[in-house]
Amino acid sequence: MANRALHVPRPRLLSPEQLDRIDESAARILSEIGLRVRSEEALAASRRAGLRIDGDRVHPDRAAFDEFIAHTRAHQPPPDPDSDAEGDPELVLTVCQYATHRHDVDTDAILPYTTETLIEAAKFVDTMASRAVIGKAPGCPMDAPPDLQPLLQYKIGALYCRHGRGPVEIRSPRAMPYMMDMAEALGRPYLQQAVYVVSPLTIGGDSFDCARAGRDRLESIWVSNMSSAGATAPIRIADALALAVAEVVGSAIVAREVTGLRAEWSVRVCPLDFQTLALSLGSPEELLFQWAFEEVNAFYHGVEPRAQYGSIHTQAKLPGAQAAAEKMALLLPGALLGARTFTGAGRLSLDEVFSAEQLVIDCEMRDHVQRLVSGLDTDCDPKACVAEVAAGLADGFLSLESTAHTYRQVHWLPQLFERRALSGWSAAGSPDLRRQAKGLVRRQLQLHDYELEPDLRREVERIYQQAERELSG
């Protein structure tokens, strides 16, 4: 009999009545306060669509708001039968692309990424594919000109990572055609552009300019925000969610009009630490906020809240107790509630730092949680049970073939976490977990053997060199 996977019913933080009040508040914010638009082209497109304009603010009314929500609900994809949280409990880690710095395994220094060190990091990430880690170049090469940075990051990921063919997110309109050319050459066309709201209630900036620049080759846009409760949004979560809905829906309406593209969207509200003025991701508040905005997103998309994706943030700057505690505090409840993919593996200081050592530790924590959510084989055959007990009494349970056969099904064997008694640990030289993790990183790097096919490599290099000539000046 297969193991019985563990799954905890998802708690609801928002009642139907509270969701209705958030909905009413969001619609009124858009109608009465409006969305600031930093684009004359977008203002003109909004005016042609019949939206009310007051200076640089667009005021979609309740009818426009409801029409957009109805369109959102009518175009939801059917549920994926393979994503049932109570089925396959395999947990996958993904590596973030946003880091600008790396944690040096040898010195514990935090250093800006260079092209050379990003290549080494990309090779390491690729070797972790065998441990259910999906990733490409885990950061941005800071020694390249700004417009070239995402293109060089993409090139490095494609050349050295088996999961590196998908394009990286781009916010440079000048670099966008080259990103699209590279993505097409690699067989993974760049078809959707992320558009980020400038909270509060403003649309404009590089991501929006990229959507406008690439509209002829894109199929859709995805609009979202990252507002901070108490700073760019009200501190009360329900009020912050209402503002988030207003600014994202309003931006999606305007962006759809100006680009002519299908607009997908979601909202996000983050906690802010007023003592440091930094986002407190990895905190207990983040998990609560995440549950709340997932419920709001599900309400507007006409689906049930499902935690298929999670994140394992930390504001710790080095691997250690804080990083492990904050990441596990997000990983464990997320997995029990049904999340199967977790982003942020190897990430420190929110998005700023990638650490190969931390990625190894994150995999160990993931494997720990993986064993928990996989559950137990709880079947009992009375006849076989009595026979096994009799054999165990005669020869000892340790000597039974069934014990040896079943041991690995019951027990997870950690690579880093210590399980020996004190005497055994001392006899082994009192090994330190972080020192072991660093050694594992060095050994893992020696396993890299992935190479992009020569014809694709030449084409990617050709496109990058053309971009380098055009964008370096």
Is 52 within the bounds of a domain? no
Torsion angle of alpha carbons 44, 49, 51, 53, nearest 10°?
A: 10
Is 411 within the bounds of a domain? no
Alpha helices (runs of H) in 191-266, residue ranges in sequence order: 206-213, 237-259
Q: What is the pLDDT of residue 81?
A: 54
Average pLDDT rounded to a whole number, residues 18-27: 98
Question: What is the 8-class DSSP label of residue 147?
Answer: G
pTM of the predicted model as reported, rounded to 2 decimal places: 0.92
Q: What is the pLDDT of residue 471?
A: 92
C-alpha–C-alpha distance, residues 95 and 472, integer Å: 28
Pairing of strands 353-354, 101-103: parallel
Distances (CA, A) of 170 to 15, 149, 211, 332: 38, 9, 10, 32
Question: What are the tens digits of pLDDT across the range 346-365?
Answer: 999 999 999 999 999 999 99
Average pLDDT rounded to a whole number, residues 118-135: 97
Q: At 87, is the pLDDT very low, low, confident or very high (cuts 50, 70, 90)?
A: low
Question: What are the tens digits of pLDDT across the range 162-188?
Answer: 999 999 999 899 999 999 999 999 999
| DSSP track, 356-410 | HHHHHHHHHHHHHHHHHHH-B-----HHHHHHHHHHHHHH-GGG-HHHHHHHHHH
Alpha helices (runs of H) in 260-377, residue ranges in sequence order: 284-301, 321-336, 356-374
Is 288 within the bounds of a domain? yes
Residue 79 has pLDDT above 80, yes or no: no
C-alpha–C-alpha distance, residues 117 and 123, integer Å: 10
Q: What is the pLDDT of residue 307?
A: 66
Question: What are the tens digits of pLDDT across the range 362-375?
Answer: 999 999 999 999 99
Angle at 66 between CA 31 and CA 72, to 5 degrees: 125
Instruction: Output the average pLDDT for the chain.
Output: 93
- Name the domain count of the chain: 1
Q: At 85, is the pLDDT very low, low, confident or very high (cuts 50, 70, 90)?
A: very low
Query: What CATH number has the domain bearing residue 110?
Result: 3.20.20.480
Question: What are the tens digits of pLDDT across the range 227-261?
Answer: 999 999 999 999 999 999 999 999 999 999 999 99
Instruction: Identify whether the C-beta of residue 354 lies closer than 8 Å to the C-beta of residue 362.
Output: no
Is 38 within the bounds of a domain? no
Q: What is the pLDDT of residue 83?
A: 52
Pairing of strands 353-354, 347-348: antiparallel
Is 39 within the bounds of a domain? no
Is 243 within the bounds of a domain? yes
Alpha helices (runs of H) in 49-198, residue ranges in sequence order: 62-74, 115-127, 149-160, 176-185
Angle at 462 between CA 460 and CA 466, to 5 degrees: 115
C-alpha–C-alpha distance, residues 414 and 102, integer Å: 26
- Among residues 313, 283, 308, the alpha carbon closest in space to that of 96 is found at 313
Q: What is the pLDDT of residue 1?
A: 47
Letter for the amino acid at 112?
P
Question: What are the tens digits of pLDDT across the range 215-225?
Answer: 999 999 999 99
Percent of the chain exceeding pLDDT 70 equals 97
Burial class (CB in 10 A: 0-12, 13-18, 19+), 125: buried
Residue 37 has pLDDT above 70, yes or no: yes
- Mean pLDDT comparison of 77-86, 280-289, 384-393, highest-scoring range: 384-393
Residue 52 has pLDDT above 60, yes or no: yes
Q: 3-state DSSP: the chain helix, strand, coil percent, rounded to 5?
A: 50, 10, 40
Residues making up the chain, counted from first to last:
473
C-alpha–C-alpha distance, residues 260 and 48, integer Å: 13
Is 194 within the bounds of a domain? yes
Residue 98 has pLDDT above 90, yes or no: yes
Percent of the chain exceeding pLDDT 90 equals 85
What does the block give as tokens for 157? 């990921």
- Among residues 229, 226, 230, 235, the alpha carbon closest in space to that of 205 is found at 226
Q: What is the pLDDT of residue 59?
A: 98
Is 400 within the bounds of a domain? no
- Among residues 304, 301, 227, 212, the alpha carbon closest in space to that of 264 is found at 301
Is residue 342 within a helix (H) or strand (E), and if so which, with residue range?
strand 341-343
Q: How many CB atoms lie within 10 A of CB 409?
A: 10
Letter for the amino acid at 353?
V
Q: At 329, is the pLDDT very low, low, confident or very high (cuts 50, 70, 90)?
A: very high
Selected residue with higher pLDDT from 6 and 144: 144
Burial class (CB in 10 A: 0-12, 13-18, 19+), 105: buried
Question: What are the tens digits of pLDDT across the range 256-313?
Answer: 999 999 999 999 999 999 988 888 888 999 989 999 999 999 999 999 887 667 899 9
Average pLDDT rounded to a whole number, residues 407-428: 93
Q: What is the pLDDT of residue 333?
A: 92
Q: What is the pLDDT of residue 277?
A: 87
Q: How many CB atoms lie within 10 A of CB 174?
A: 16
Domain ranges, residue 279: 81-374+450-471
Edge-to-edge strands, sheet with 35-37: 52-54, 57-59, 35-37, 202-203
